[in-house]
Amino acid sequence: MDKESAVQSLTDVMAKFTAYIGKRLPTDVKAKTAKLRAAETNPLAIAIYDSMAENQDAADKLDRPSCQDTGVIQYFIAAGAKFPLLGELEEILLNATLEATKKGPLRHNAVETFDEKNTGTNTGSKIPWLDWEIVPDADYALIDVYMAGGGCTLPGSAKVLMPGQGYEGVTEFVFDVITSRGVNACPPLLVGVGVSTSVETAARLSKRAILRPVDSQHPNENAALMEKLLEEGLNEIGIGPQGLTGNSSVMGVNIESSARHPSTIGVAVSTGCWAHRRGKIRINADLSYDILSHEGVVL
């Protein structure tokens, strides 16, 4: 395949995949909301879980977005240094967003800051947002598509704590964020926590945390224990689906961390809603692909 055809072919795949993500939730999110529904005892909360499931079935049958807010499109890319279309990926993902906006359709959510004009294409300055990691020696690319809806993005927050505030300070920050603004994000939430040196490193890690599967664990056992304790503590608040009370507030809590400066604790929270639209695709060097986040997909 010549380069021009390869670029066109990958643009088509990414456009179809991006549009698909707006309509069908990832396998882990569907499984977790079904599990929370099965464990729920509050009749109102049960009715809400059932209405969420009906909504998803209807979106599937009618081939329509699973929530009206299809968000700002963000791509988190881990690209091999030897991936054949590395230099073309930015343009491919821009054109994929334009195409997915028409194909989906996706709601127009890109407003040029300071001009206060909606571009009407879901593209604009630095949108779609691209986050890059280069994987040495690899020839494939792993791409996470994320739809940053307004409500699920609203609770996002980051702060640098004094070192003496310790892990208790991290816990207090997470609880403050979720109890004050979590309800805006259509619970049950997937809570991502970043712990690092500064606000921007913690914020980036908190976003990466909500790209991880719902029931995954941090590899460090202390961090994994903190994930579990935060999840249990947040569930005890009983925010419930859509904030109308119930046994669960969250689908889970995922922590991502880095080594940090000894004098600071950067902490950030990002939240995903019950309609957590994210998808992971692996593009191989020959442009064949595997969809890792959703089962049984035909694009």
| Contact (CB, 8 A) for 84 and 285 | yes
From 6-14, 22-30, 74-82, 148-156, span contacting ligand SF4 (CB under 6 A): 148-156
Cβ nearer to ligand SF4, comparing 31 with 138: 31
170 binds ligand SF4 (CB under 6 A): no
48 binds ligand SF4 (CB under 6 A): no
151 binds ligand SF4 (CB under 6 A): yes
Give the shortest CB-80-to-ligand SF4 separation in angstroms: 32
Q: Among 200, 214, 204, which Cα is nearest to 273's?
A: 214
Give the shortest CB-212-to-ligand SF4 separation in angstroms: 18
67 binds ligand SF4 (CB under 6 A): yes
Cis peptide before 128 (omega within 30 of 0): yes
> Residues near 242 by Cβ (< 8 Å), separated by ≥ 6?
48, 186, 187, 274
Cβ nearer to ligand SF4, comparing 84 with 241: 241
DSSP-assigned states of every residue in 45-102: HHHHHHHHHHHHHHHHHHT--SSS---EEEEEEEEETT-TTGGGHHHHHHHHHHHHHH
Query: What CA–CA distances, in Å, run from 125 to 99, 110, 203?
Result: 17, 9, 21
What whole-number distance in Å separates Cα of residue 249 and Cα of residue 188?
5
Question: Which residues are bridge partners to 190 per DSSP?
Answer: 252, 272
What whole-number distance in Å separates Cα of residue 60 and Cα of residue 216?
26
Per-residue tokens: 292? 């890792």
From 74-82, 143-151, 164-172, 231-239, span contacting ligand SF4 (CB under 6 A): 143-151
What whole-number distance in Å separates Cα of residue 142 and Cα of residue 77?
6
Cβ nearer to ligand SF4, comparing 149 with 192: 149
**E strand or H helix that includes residue 252:** strand 250-257
275 binds ligand SF4 (CB under 6 A): yes
Give the shortest CB-119-to-ligand SF4 separation in angstroms: 20
Instruction: Provide the mask over 232-251, with x wherever binding to ligand SF4 is found by CB under 6 A and - wherever it is not.
Output: --------------------
From 26-34, 72-80, 150-158, 206-214, span contacting ligand SF4 (CB under 6 A): 150-158
Give the shortest CB-10-to-ligand SF4 separation in angstroms: 27
72 binds ligand SF4 (CB under 6 A): no
Query: Interface with ligand SF4 by CB under 6 A: which residues?
Result: 67, 69, 149-152, 185-186, 273, 275
